[in-house]
Amino acid sequence: MIWLLFLALAALALAPLGWSLARPRAARGRHDADLALYRAQLAELDRERAAGRLDEAAFAAARTEVQRRLLAAPADAPAPHPRGAATLAAGLFLIPALGIGLYLWNGTPDVPAAPFVERAAEAARDDALLAQLRARIAQVPPASEGARQGWLLLGNAERARGRLDPAAEAFARVLAIRFDPGIAAELAELQVQRNALEPAAALLAQSLQAAPTDPRLRFLAGMVEARAGRPANARVVWQGLLADTPADAPWRGMLEQQLRELP
């Protein structure tokens, strides 16, 4: 009976892939895929907010993250090789077979789920590792490249854990060692999420002097103006960015939507 259950679960998991292979459809580029993903993620965030599972601050932070990923998305990639469909079709059979084979060889069905105590212990281990990283950073010259890389690693780790304040502090230390517009964009985005709009505006102004055409910096500059209650300024910034945005840019639809939502 348990094997029938495993097979049923595998069939359910792979059913969308099988349907997509069986149904003829026009090929979609990276641009269309990015837009579809953005709309799906945004709709999910709207549902979470409507259901009361996200407050306004969390909703704004999550939406900003989706926008960041879309702005960082590359242009259209080349179309997949025709043999890709055959490979995917073979995967419909090979993936369940491989999974069952691995389970038979080294499966441990009696292992219980990780309780809260174990998850808390894992979080404590992460805290200890980050503390060790901070200690190592303290042992190298403050303005060295080693310190810069350490702070950058720490900032990314803290942001991944949702700890915006220490992440912002780490990115600020990276910029203090050597200014970089890309890292400045990361810090400015964190400041927007933390509602530190004045520092974000000052940082973006400095960054745009070094990289005046960077679309992410320009988008964030408009976001600061919109969050600060200056929609007219945000409209000017975003309309200028829209005029310079190629028609096939993956973030163009998002930018147009932001403009439509301005009061």
Token duo for residue 204: 């973006």
Distances (CA, A) of 138 to 146, 183, 192: 10, 21, 28
Do 42 and 158 share a domain, yes or no?
no
- Of 106, 136, 157, which closes a domain? 106
User: Is 111 a member of any domain?
Assistant: no
| 80, 125: one domain | no
**Are 249 and 122 part of one and the same domain?**
yes
Query: Could you tell me the two tokens for 14?
Result: 């792979």
Rounded CA-CA distance 88/82 in Å is 11
Tell me how many helices (H) and strands (E) the chain has: 12, 0
Residues 90 and 171 in one domain: no
Residue 42 tokens, joined: 């945004």
Is 157 a domain residue? yes
Q: Which of 62, 80, 106 is the last residue of a domain?
A: 106
Asked, for residue 31, whether it belongs to a domain, the answer is yes
Q: Are residues 131 and 233 in the same domain?
A: yes
Along the 263 residues of the chain, how does pLDDT read in single tens digits?
A: 455 455 555 555 555 555 555 555 544 455 555 566 666 677 777 777 777 766 776 677 777 776 666 666 555 544 545 555 555 555 555 665 666 565 555 655 555 555 666 667 777 887 888 888 889 899 999 999 999 999 998 899 899 888 999 999 999 999 999 999 999 999 999 999 999 999 999 999 999 999 999 999 999 999 999 999 999 999 999 999 999 999 999 889 999 999 999 99
Alpha carbon distance, N-terminus to C-terminus of the chain: 59
Q: For the chain, what's the residue count?
A: 263
Last residue of a domain, one of 50, 79, 106: 106
**223 falls within a domain:** yes
Same domain, 133 and 12: no
Residue type, 156: N
pLDDT at 38: 67
Q: How many CB atoms lie within 10 A of CB 242?
A: 16
Same domain membership, residue 101 and residue 37: yes
CA distance 168 to 183: 11
Same domain, 73 and 170: no
How open is the CA angle 244-249-252, to the nearest 5 degrees? 75
What CATH number does residue 231 fall under? Answer: 1.25.40.10
pLDDT value for 26:
47
Q: Does residue 120 sit in the same domain as residue 100?
A: no
Domain count along the chain: 2
Closest among 204, 152, 214 to 178, alpha carbons compared? 152
Q: Are 94 and 211 in the same domain?
A: no
CA distances from 72 to 135, 237, 241 (A): 32, 19, 15
Is the domain of 57 the same as that of 147? Answer: no
Q: Is the pTM of this model over 0.85?
A: no
Res 90: pLDDT = 57
Residue numbers of the domain that contains 71 = 2-106
Cα(180)–Cα(171) distance, rounded to whole angstroms? 11
Q: Are residues 98 and 146 in the same domain?
A: no
